[in-house]
């Protein structure tokens, strides 16, 4: 026996159904607003949003404030690099190496003291290093790529705070070659990323040319 719902029925929805429907609507609105908030928090700071003339340079830090605020971004005199991989992170057929550029003094006691002593707030956001060309692979690395059996694909990516940027290298490894070993050896023993966060007309420029 089959039962059919009468589409013309004017039956009033039960309280439980109304409650469920309202909860669903609330969650949809919450997720939408949360998504917008996340995008705002993750947005990069543009140079024109900062008060470069009131930059504080001290103990290896450059603090660049937002206009008329004690809040701003930090740039550093020195950066280190962190190697992630090789791994099959994105494809079962292609290996990926990522080299992150991270500030040497981030989250150290010196970092905390600098902010506290100067009554400053790090807003924990980055300049858009990719858009501004702050990080680039060295010419020597690009020449090395050409000596390999396989030609890697590479790209500079903007950094996730506190990282300034990252170099991503993807490649296939043909059987019977030692190119992967050569690549890893080269990366560990040579400068591979050129840094340049000079901004025309502003007071700040980095003192570290490559790493």
d(CA 190, CA 168): 16
Please name the helix (run of DSSP H) or strand (run of DSSP E) that holds residue 74, with its range, or none: strand 71-76
Q: What is the pTM of this model?
A: 0.72
| Across 118-127, average pLDDT | 95
Radius of gyration of the chain (CA): 25
* pLDDT higher than threshold 60 for residue 25: no
Tens of pLDDT, residues 151-184: 899 999 998 899 999 999 998 876 667 888 899 9
SS3 category, 196: coil
* pLDDT higher than threshold 70 for residue 5: no
- In the prediction, which pLDDT does 82 show? 94
Intra-chain end-to-end CA distance of the chain, in Å: 76
Quick check: 98 and 72 in contact, CB under 8 A? Answer: no
More confident residue, 25 or 5: 25
């Amino acid at each position: 026996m089959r039962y059919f719902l009468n589409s013309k029925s004017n039956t009033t929805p039960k309280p439980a159904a109304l409650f469920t429907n309202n909860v669903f609507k609330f969650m949809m609105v919450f997720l939408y607003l949360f998504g917008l908030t996340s995008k705002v928090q993750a947005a990069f700071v543009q140079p024109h949003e900062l008060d470069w003339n009131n930059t504080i340079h001290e103990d290896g830090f450059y603090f660049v404030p937002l206009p008329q605020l004690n809040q701003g971004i930090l740039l550093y005199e020195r950066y280190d690099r962190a190697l992630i991989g090789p791994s099959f992170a994105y494809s079962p057929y292609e290996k990926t190496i990522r080299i992150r550029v991270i500030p040497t003094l981030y989250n150290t006691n010196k970092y905390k003291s600098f902010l506290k002593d100067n009554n400053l707030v790090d807003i924990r956001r980055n300049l858009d290093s990719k858009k501004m060309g702050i990080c680039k692979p060295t010419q020597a690395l690009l020449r090395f790529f050409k000596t390999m059996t396989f030609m890697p694909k590479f790209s500079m990516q903007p950094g996730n705070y506190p990282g300034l940027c990252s170099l991503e290298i993807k490649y296939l490894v043909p059987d019977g070659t030692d190119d992967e070993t050569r690549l890893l050896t080269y990366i560990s023993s040579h400068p591979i990323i050129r840094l340049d966060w000079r901004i025309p007309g502003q007071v700040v420029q980095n003192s570290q040319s490559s790493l």
